[in-house]
Amino acid sequence: MHPTYPISASKKYLWHRGYHCIYSVFCSAYDGGRRRRTRLVAHPPRAYQCQKNRPVESVDPIVVELAALLHDIADAKFHNGDETIGPATAKLFLETQAQPAFPNQLSPQQILHIVRIIENISFKGGKEQTQFHSKELAVVQDADRLDAIGAIGIARTFNYGGFKGSEIFNPTLPPNPNMSKEEYKKGGNPSLNHFWEKLLLLKDRMNTETGKRLAAERHTFMLSYLCHFFEETGIQPAGFELPTQ
């Protein structure tokens, strides 16, 4: 059984409307497709699907939904790498908008929990370890990582690479899956390298059982895509070897 979801439809609408308004102001990567996927991730059945095959374990649905909605409100990639803007913006919105509107449903402890999730949700390179852990972070992080792999993940990778002016593929520049946080944030590598430097690593970093199953399916799809890519280019240089699974 999923936890009871205590927010009425009207209150959810107000929260989502306020979120979308502030998101459009602070996030330069804002677009309708990203907004729609974020809303799907935040919807309780979607957010909890990563929990359904685990032993019964309660999570705070308000923390899960608001963390999912606000986790990319000010992506560091679009703010000169500043990782403090996102959590600070989310905290400002929660304290000045959400909590005053619903004082009995959002406590200071929940706000702190949401902010901690936003501070720790992102992938920061092959060697980086998360210092904060909670069941709610596990759910939201899995949902966020699932959006980064598979068909959508491939589209996002080349879309962002085009935005940054990156090469699609350079056989003389092999990927580095063991980047430090600083190397990963610096970026600048061809878009295809991102598969080895992040996307193909995520399957083994999922937290929940259903998250692991869904990630395995999308991982297999990405391997199939890469096989076709190298067949069509006629070259697969050293450093671009594919994992067996």
**Residue 165: left if φ>0, alpha if ψ -120 to 50, beta else—which one?**
left
Mind listing the pLDDT tens digit for each residue in 160-191? 999 989 999 999 999 998 888 778 777 789 99
Check whether residue 178 and residue 227 sit in a common domain: yes
Check whether residue 55 and residue 99 sit in a common domain: yes
Q: What confidence score (pLDDT) does residue 104 get?
A: 75
CATH of the domain at 221: 1.20.58.1910
Task: Give the whole-angstrom CA distance, residue 75 versus residue 38.
Answer: 13
Check whether residue 82 and residue 168 sit in a common domain: no
Q: Which is nearest to 8 in space by CA: 92, 125, 104?
A: 104
Q: What confidence score (pLDDT) does residue 23 get?
A: 46
Stretch among 95-109, 118-132, 191-205, 223-237 having the lowest mean pLDDT: 118-132
Does 134 map to a domain?
Answer: no
Compute the mean pLDDT over every residue in the chain, rounded to the nearest whole number: 78
Check whether residue 17 and residue 117 sit in a common domain: yes
C-alpha triplet 90, 71, 91: angle, nearest 5°: 15
Radius of gyration of the chain (CA): 19
User: How sure is the predictor about 85, in pLDDT bands with cuts at 50, 70 and 90?
Assistant: confident
Stretch among 16-25, 105-114, 159-168, 202-211 having the lowest mean pLDDT: 16-25
**Which residue range(s) make up the domain with 19?**
9-128
Task: Give the whole-angstrom CA distance, residue 218 versus residue 199.
Answer: 10
Containing H/E element for 145? helix 135-146
Does 139 map to a domain?
Answer: no
Whole-angstrom CA distances from 169 to 25, 198, 226, 227, 228 are 34, 16, 12, 14, 14
Mind listing the pLDDT tens digit for each residue in 35-65? 455 445 444 444 444 444 444 347 888 898 8
Q: What's the mean pLDDT in 114-140?
A: 82
- DSSP conformation class of 168: S
User: How sure is the predictor about 241, in pLDDT bands with cuts at 50, 70 and 90?
Assistant: very high
